[in-house]
Structures are given as C-alpha cells and as structure tokens.
Structure 1
C-alpha cells in the first residue's frame, strides 16, 4: 500500500480513537454501501484500498460472510469471530505485508484480524527506545546514501535519518519509528482483546526499563500490551516495577533450528536472491551469535523457575521445534502455574505451520499462542478448514463472489483472481498451495515413502529442572550486503 493511502487510513482511525463501538460505526460513511455489519477494519468500510470495484468488494464481502469470514483492509481474509480459532496468532513484527517494526505494520496488524502484534524494542546510545530488531541498520531500515550504523552506538540524531524498507527491500518515505510512535499507533488502532507484545532486545537496567514502562502506561490502555524477552534478568526487573503485567520468557531456539538457520545463512550470504528470501534468518543468526558472545553461556530456565521468579502472570515462549520435541512441555508449564505457552520459529512460517498440523494430527496439545509471518486466518485455516463451511446461502453477482461460494473449505481464499481461472477448469488452489480438482474424490495423491512426520523428534527435549543447557556451536561471520 502506498504511504499516502496508509496515512489516510491512520488519520481516519485516529479520528475514531476514544469513541465507543457505536460511535465509531456512526462516525464515518462507508466507502462501499451495505457493509455496516462488518468490523471497521474491513475492506470497503472507512476506506477502500483494493483495485476492485465497489460492486466487487460488496460481493466478496457478502460471499465471505456466508462462510463466517470478512476481507480486511490489509487485503487478507479474517474470521468474523476471532474466537472461532482456538489459537491466538500474533503478527510477527507487525503485519507481514508491511515494513517490519513500522507504524504502518502495527496499524495493519490491528486491522488484519490478529489477536495482537509483536514488536522488537532497543535502546540508542543516548537512551531513546526505538523499534528495531537487528544489531545493525541496513536491512529493515536504511538511508539513501547506504550508510549503516551499529545499534549499540547509534544516537537519536542518526536514528532520525533512517527510513524503513518495504518487503522488497526498497526504502520508503516512512521514518524509522521510536517506541512511543508504535505505542501511540497501537493505542489508536487496536480492537478490544488485542495485545501488543513488546519484546525487549536489550539487557537494559532498571532505570531504562522504568522509562519504557512509563511510556507504555501513559500511552497504552491497561491490558492492551505485555512484555517478553530472552533476557531473564530483564523480566525479573520488570516484575519488580510492575506486579501485574504479563511477562513472556523467550527460550533460545532448539540447537537443530540454529544449525539449520546457519546453513540457510551460509547459502543466502552468497546469493542476492536467497538473501532477500531469507534475510530475517540471516540477521537472526548473526545477531544471535553476537548476543551469545556478549553474555557468555546460554541458559534455559524451567517452567517452575519462571513461575517462582515472575509469578503466575507469565509464560514460556519457545521454538516450535522444542515444543514438538517435548510431549510434556505444555502440561508441565500449566502444572507449574504459567498462564501461556507460545511458539515461534526461526526456520520459516511454512515449517511452523507444518509442525502445528502434525501436532494436531497426533492429538497433541497446541500452544496457546503463536507468533507468525502470516495472517491468523491462514494459520488457523490449515488446522481447522471446517471453520469456512457455509453458514447461509448467498447469490453472488460477480466472478469473485461466485468463486468464493464454489470453493471447498480447504481452498486458499487469498488468491481470488487465480481461483477464478482455476475454477473455470474445475480445479482450485488449496490452502497448502496444491492444485486439486473440484471433486477431490476423483484423485488421490500418491503415498510418499517417507518416515512418519508426526509431532515427534529423534531428540528428546524436556523442560529443564533449573540446569543450564549448552547451545554452544561454532559461530560464523556473515557479511550482510547494504
């Protein structure tokens, strides 16, 4: 979406800030008539950002509505009732179609049908909290002259010269945000029940954390945010400052995940195409090595230790590979009294999704929450395709509406233009990317001779009883191109 369009959207919702839901509904005339039964974040309500005609937008919305869905302004389907999906899905560094750790990404995450958004926060040398993930600028943020900065040395004046990059790596006109910008954007955009996950990437002291907490308290409504960190001492300091806010302790990734990420990074560092595709993994590896060297030996604290240090309003955030490999990780965390168990992955969203599907097939407990670079609908649709069953009839009037009404429950509802073409030949695209016949009973995919890929692992992983786990591995040095 162009910056001017996003600013228009942001201005519209800023004007709605503080209004009740009924006030909001009456404040603006919908861009497309007849959609007042949909959330304000729906395409065609306060704004229309797609190239479809008003009639097509209306037809798409009515057809999706017959399946318990709606089309968001972020151009992705969403459930009319977020509680339809039993797992909470958080937008990793903001909406995946927008610049990461940006105000526009957080804004669209609020409108995109997520349960919340995750952002990374760091300190400049002169004490400003900014939204950024990497140890260097250049990948997600940059300058037109190509100069890069080490985040541990950058100051506020230098930060002011940076803008964020879009998903293709191009510099935008949107400036790199301070944390207070992100907080204000979330406060003016989020819907009841959504939360902002503020992941702290610094080993900050109690004075610096007190400043961050004051900003959150003064800007964000109570209950609309929480903190997470891989730095256990940071969370203990935060608990001293706030007895009630939820705190998520982030386990370091599984050793196999780290090894695979390094392998990907080695390949990507030699190829511009691969670098663009895997740039998040590349920077994660280099940053992980830097943090590991700075703090020495790695640790993973047990659920009982987390409960004792942080209280019941805390949880474990673990690599999906660790979650899959530990059959008792969920039950033991709950027995310890932790509120949540969340999963993430450094090996890509497809892998994360495949492991959740394997867990469900094995009738294993699923996490309470996942952090992903995809929409809540896409993540849940692979697990619960039956949620898109038609609840009532509707007579569509455009090709897009007719396609939505014809598609099976397991179809990809994002790619409507392609679905129209495939349906003309009695085929469709499934949510997993396969081309299937409309009557799937007529074909069967051949069975592959592979080992059973259920939610098991050759390595036994367990929640440690306060012991230190060594994640030592040979570091690699990667030159990241500007």
Structure 2
C-alpha cells in the first residue's frame, strides 16, 4: 500500500531517501556520469513523467519488476505512480480542475523544500507556499505568527515571527507529519525558489502567498529574488492584503495576482468549535493543530483591527488589472451561486477555492457543485492529491484505455479494479479482491458483482453553510484613497 508504506518510514529515513532524491534531480543537468545520475532508475520507465516512481529514483520498497508492472498497468488506464507514492494523470489536462498542493505535498513537512519538491513531482498543477519577513528583512517560508507547530528546535523555544531575526531562524528545523523535529532546516524563500526552479514541470506554477503587510522596498526585494531564481511564468503572488497586491502590480505589470477573501463566518465558527474540543484531547489536538493555530492567529488579527472588508470582483479587477483573480473559501463559493459568473464578467482571470475546514469538506462541496451542474472553480488549493479529488469527480478518467497483461499480483490488481476504485491502496485491494470486493475512492466497500451504480439525480442544494446567507460585495467604484485593511491570509 503506497501511502501507508510512505507514512511508515521514520522521519530520518525519509530525509535520507529525500536527500538522495534531491541530489539525483539536481544532477539531471550536470556533467556527472549517467551511472551516477541514474543509479536508482528502473529500466523501461523513461517515457513516464520525470516525477514518476522509478523514473529517476526509487523511494518505495517494491522490487523493480513490481514497480515496472504497476507503472505499465496504471499507464493502461492513463495514470502513473508518482515518487510521492500517489497516482496521477498522464494527461494533467484530462481533469478540468487545477489542483495546487497546499503548503507543499501533504505527505511532507509543510512549507519545506522537500514538500515543494514532492509537490512538483506529485502530479499537481502547482504548489502554494507562505512567505513572511523576519525582523531584519529576510523573506522566509512560514505560515504561523509564532514558531513551534510547523517549525521548532530541540530546546522547545518559540519565537514570534514579528520579532524573529535571521540568526534565530537559522536555529529552526521543520517538523515532520508526525510532529517530530526533522533534520531539514526551516527554509528561506530563496531556498524554496531554487528548489522549485530545479524540479517544476512545464505548466506548473508556484503560488507565493504574502502573509503580512510589507512596504514596496521589501516587496521589490521579494520580486527580485523570484525573477532571478524562477523561470518566467512559473510563479505568481497572492495575498489577503489588496494594498500589498497593488504595490506588487506597481513593480510588475504582467504577473498574475490573486486577492484572497477572508473565510466565511461559518467556516470560522466551525474551526473555533473544533479547536475548543481539540484542546481537551491529545488525539484531536494532533489532528486539528493547523486549525487551532489558525484560530489563535485569527483572534489576534481581529483584536488589532476595527473591521474587515471583502473587496468585490470589480474592485479587484480595477485595482490589479486583467491578470488577477479572486481566491475564496469554498463555503462562500457554494453559498453564492453568482460568484463565478460575476467574477468572469468583471474580467478576472481565475476564481480559486480553499478551505480552513479540511480537505474532506472541500471535496464534499466540489462534489455537491458538480451534482447541481454548477460551475467548479478554476483551481482548488488542497491537502490531498489532484488524483484523489478529480477521481471522485470524474471516475471514468481512470478507464482502461489499452490492453496490458500484468506479470505481478499488484499489476493484476490495478487492471482488475473498477473505475471508481481507490488506486492508492493496492495491498488492501488485493485482499478484498480475493473475496470479490474492492474499496471505492470514497472509502466504501463494494462487491464486484454489484451492477454499475447509476448517477444520482442532481440535488437541489449542497451541504449548506451554518449561516443563512453569504455576503458578496457590490460592484462599487474603486476608491484608491481608502485606508488599506491590514489582515493576514487565511489558511
């Protein structure tokens, strides 16, 4: 089972393997000998994307014949197995929804160089990261207002990001997905930019979310670093601060800029309720620590400002130009049927959704939109793979396209599964198939003998927000004299 085998690795072993991976990717364009550069390559996979498991390096415990067979069987269904141990589409455009990896690949430490690398290799359309300034003017990759959750050090000391200096930042490492301190240093923005430049695939983009207010000199420094280290067209910026984005537009008239709406009030209320329960349970605390930290940050921001404001699509278009977009909470998107059409009518390039209530909720809302035949967003920022959400939306994308005769048991499993199966749990599927059952993409156990499930009739309403209405700003005239509202980007 791919995901479990990855998660079962110790933090140090994963970093050792990842170190090999980083080196091998980096040496693909060097003068090192082919034997050195491709020492872990599995024969016969050179036609697959560079991020395929076994294509340049092998991170799984499977034998080479097993990896070959799995890859050939998946290829017969228009898929491949990524180095991050998840399936992906050979044709990324087959799914109409673009999916970005939230703070990097969800199986790796958030906002780390390793998560950005594996996001680039993991079948995503792009990767989202958060950048903040140290007190002495260095741009670093971090989300929270205080260190300790995603980054830390052995003595347990925490630092406020508004006060931290480079010397203190240098003492931090990122935490792995189990919350343990790793051996990977907390990255500067330039570290992640270089990692992205060396590993991204054509068409992928790095979404650089600016997490705080910054003056034009500081933003010019960030933009200059990006221009010098990242290929043109491989990155863009977003922020909840419209004033920050206007300054970036002054510095670059062409780059895409995404204006982020604050989360829907019901989303915030739900996170607070979860946080209250989680503080009484170690298990829940570990599961929802992202949300708990977000609540803490949100309350601090709320006390520091008198009001919040969501600017309309027309205002965003007038302030930032054609190459701009609106990034909104999925709950706001679902609750406002005209938000997509109004954004497009205003001339915005993209409408993007995110969620502070978890990927399961985000996925359920996207499915509800599809069932109602409503437009999906252009892009979703998720803590899961692109394949997982697109596979639930469009299971027939995994239909068998060509004949292939597998030679191993795992290859036979891939070829035997129905279109709506979970292709990430091959060892579990192997056991269920012996009893003529399989695991569906949404986790149900179904008999192979059951007739094909007919699509459900379109429902009239999706899962509704807990509030009765969603506020959408009117298309007011832009007033450039307005005092900017200082608030941070949501999750």
Shared fold (TM-score greater than 0.5)? yes
Report the secondary structure of 1:441's partner residue. Answer: coil
Q: Distance in 1 between matches of 2:437 and 2:336?
A: 40
Q: Distance in 2 between matches of 1:455 and 1:305?
A: 30
* Matched positions, count: 461
- 1:14 aligned to 9, 23, 26, which one? 26
Matched, 1:459 2:471: no
**What's the CA shift string for 1:181-202, capped at 9, x where partnerless?**
0100000000000000000111
Q: Distance in 1 between matches of 2:30 and 2:396?
A: 36
Contact 1:43 1:75 in 2 (8 A): yes
Matched, 1:341 2:344: no
Matched, 1:151 2:161: yes
Name 2:261's counterpart in structure 1. Answer: 251
After superposition, the Cα gap between the structure-2 partners of 1:418 and 1:122, relative to the gap in structure 1 and judged at 3 Å, is: same
Contact 1:228 1:249 in 2 (8 A): yes
Report the secondary structure of 1:363's partner residue. Answer: coil
What displacement does 1:295 show? 3.4
**What's the CA shift string for 1:355-387, capped at 9, x where partnerless?**
000000100000000000000100100100000
Report the secondary structure of 2:183's partner residue. Answer: strand
Report the secondary structure of 2:401's partner residue. Answer: coil
What displacement does 1:452 show? 6.5
Report the secondary structure of 1:130's partner residue. Answer: strand
Task: Give the 5 Å matches for 1:167-186.
Answer: 167-186=177-196
- Stretch deviating more after TM superposition (121-130 or 283-292): 283-292
What displacement does 1:137 show? 0.5
What displacement does 1:463 show? 2.8
Name 1:370's counterpart in structure 2. Answer: 380
**What's the CA shift string for 1:109-130, capped at 9, x where partnerless?**
0000000000000111111110
Q: Distance in 2 between matches of 1:97 and 1:290?
A: 29
**What's the CA shift string for 1:244-263, capped at 9, x where partnerless?**
11000000001100000000
Report the secondary structure of 1:199's partner residue. Answer: strand
Matched, 1:221 2:221: no
Task: Give the 5 Å matches for 1:409-448.
Answer: 409-441=419-451
After superposition, the Cα gap between the structure-2 partners of 1:141 and 1:32, relative to the gap in structure 1 and judged at 3 Å, is: same
Q: Distance in 2 between matches of 1:147 and 1:68?
A: 49
**Runs of 4+ off more than 6 Å:** none
Contact 1:197 1:227 in 2 (8 A): yes
- Give TM-score, length-normalised by structure 1: 0.92
Contact 2:372 2:460 in 1 (8 A): no
- Stretch deviating more after TM superposition (434-443 or 112-121): 434-443
Contact 1:343 1:371 in 2 (8 A): yes
Name 2:42's counterpart in structure 1. Answer: 32
Contact 1:125 1:155 in 2 (8 A): yes
Name 1:399's counterpart in structure 2. Answer: 409
What displacement does 1:270 show? 1.8
Task: Give the 5 Å matches for 1:195-234.
Answer: 195-234=205-244
Report the secondary structure of 2:304's partner residue. Answer: helix
Contact 2:206 2:235 in 1 (8 A): yes
Contact 2:239 2:260 in 1 (8 A): yes
Name 1:97's counterpart in structure 2. Answer: 107
**C-alpha RMSD of matched pairs (Å):** 2.3
- Give TM-score, length-normalised by structure 2: 0.90
Matched, 1:113 2:123: yes
Name 1:63's counterpart in structure 2. Answer: 73
What displacement does 1:460 show? 3.1
Question: Gaps spanning 5+ residues in structure 1: where?
Answer: 468-482
Question: Gaps spanning 5+ residues in structure 2: where?
Answer: 1-12, 477-491
Report the secondary structure of 2:451's partner residue. Answer: helix
Contact 2:99 2:125 in 1 (8 A): yes
After superposition, the Cα gap between the structure-2 partners of 1:164 and 1:27, relative to the gap in structure 1 and judged at 3 Å, is: closer
Q: Distance in 2 between matches of 1:39 and 1:29?
A: 18
Q: Distance in 1 between matches of 2:82 and 2:442?
A: 21
Q: Distance in 2 between matches of 1:375 and 1:281?
A: 20
Name 1:470's counterpart in structure 2. Answer: none
Name 1:241's counterpart in structure 2. Answer: 251
